[in-house]
Structure 1
Amino acid sequence: MGVAIRTADRDDRELLAGLLDAAFQDDPVSGWIFPGEEYRRTTHPRLMAAFVDIVLAEGRIDVTEDGAACALWLPVPAESAEDEEGFAALREAVDPDNERIELIGTLTAEVHPAGRAHEYLWMIGVAPSRQGEGLGSALIGSVLERCDRDGVPAYLEASSERSLGLYERLGFQLVDRPLALPDGPRMWPMWREPGTAR
């Protein structure tokens, strides 16, 4: 039985932000950006809502019909530039005193491959109670099928070793070396050529 997937719209904003907040509360990178459980619990939702707003405006969000998982995709043109002003604005809007919000954007932009148009999987979230059911694979797979058909590569940054394994199974490969966040966890920049066997 397949997973029913649809494209999200503005009416889904609260659902998506809540889903991503729940999915990433225990993520190593979220813990680095928002150290301390209470701080993360109260502030992390604002960052997830800001991410949803950006991608609804500039990209595409796929969500399972039951609302248990979503994937945020951005199309990246061959010639794209780092948006340092955007990272600063995001920090100002979400948590002005937290420099790590801006820093994570700058650091990931520095390792993001340039010079070739691609689909960027900004993040994918699955409700904690539904993880391990294949929802993430189904969400990613639907876009990778289109990438293969259109000859478009895909890129992402894995934020945990668990997700790293999933992405490797889907044909993604480490771009260079892991990105070590200052006094924090690692992230794995990964690239997938179209037509990569899974």
Structure 2
Amino acid sequence: MIKAEHKDKDLVVDILTKSFDANQSVNYIVKQDEKRVQRVRSLMDYSFEVCYLFGDVFLSDDKKGCALITYPDKKKTTLKSILLDVKLILSAVGLKNIKKTLAREAKINELQSKEPKYYLWFIGVDPEHQNEGIGSILLDEIIEDSEQKQRPIYLETSTVKNLPWYKKFGFQIYNELDLSYKLFFLKRELSKK
């Protein structure tokens, strides 16, 4: 995998926008109107920027897949992070969805582990190239990177059909949250050496 540079942002945002277009969790927080796809794109733009500041952004070697990683214990409140949050509210969430979105984030935060973690925020493959093994290779490389950093991987998914895929890589469900959809909390422990 390749560590993405800022010049790769449009490519990463394109892949994630297409990959998560119908995702329940994404569409729960994105204002549902005629600009919905543009709003999903704004969410992915925001996510890229946050991970670029406080984590890692990776591309698959063929640049058809990507992953956004954060290290929550390293995240800081800065002027830039505040501006990104405001931009997210205005361009993706919408003023009317702020309360619902903040309540959702508080519930998620309550259930997430507080240990230093390797948080896999998004992993996606361009839909035209899904089921070609790109995501599996990328996830293998992410697991390797998390092992080197000595941080267990955490993630959430609302896509039930992805659960067997994650389980194949050693992820276990450690919690669930019922919103207007079910959100599954997964963890992959570090390998015993």
Same-fold call, TM > 0.5?
A: yes
User: 1:70 is matched with which residue?
Assistant: 66
Is the alpha carbon distance of 1:126 and 1:101 closer, same or farther for their aligned partners in structure 2, counting shifts above 3 Å? farther
1:41 equivalent to 2:40? Answer no
Q: How far off its partner does 1:145 sit? A: 1.6
**Aligned residue type for 1:60:** D
Task: Return 5+ residue gaps in structure 2 as ranges.
Answer: none
Partner Cα distance (1:146, 1:122) in 2: 15
In 2, are the aligned partners of 1:156 and 1:190 still within 8 Å (CA)? yes
In 2: Cα distance, 1:162 partner to 1:72 partner: 21
Matches within 5 A, 1:154-193: 154-176=153-175, 178-181=176-179, 184-193=180-189
**How far does the alpha carbon of each residue in 1:25-51 deviate from its partner, in whole angstroms, 9 at most, with x for none?**
011222323364734223211111111
Q: What is the SS of the residue equivalent to 1:175? A: strand
Question: Are residues 147 and 42 of structure 1, via their aligned partners in 2, closer, same or farther at CA, if it must alter by over 3 Å?
Answer: closer
> How does the TM-score come out when normalised to structure 1?
0.81
Amino acid of the structure 2 residue aligned with 1:7 = K
For residues 1-198 of structure 1, the aligned pairs below 5 Å read 5-34=1-30, 36=32, 38-77=34-73, 89=86, 90-92=88-90, 94-97=92-95, 98-99=97-98, 100-114=100-114, 116-176=115-175, 178-181=176-179, 184-195=180-191
Task: Tell me the matched-pair count.
Answer: 185
Report the CA distance shift for 1:62/1:179 in structure 2 as closer, same or farther (over 3 A).
same
Structure 2: distance between partners of 1:17 and 1:101:
21
Task: Provide structure 1 residue ranges, at least 5 long, that are not aligned to the other structure.
Answer: none
Root mean square deviation, CA, Å: 2.7
Report percent identity of matched pairs: 25
Task: Find the residue that maps to 1:38 and give its secondary structure.
Answer: coil
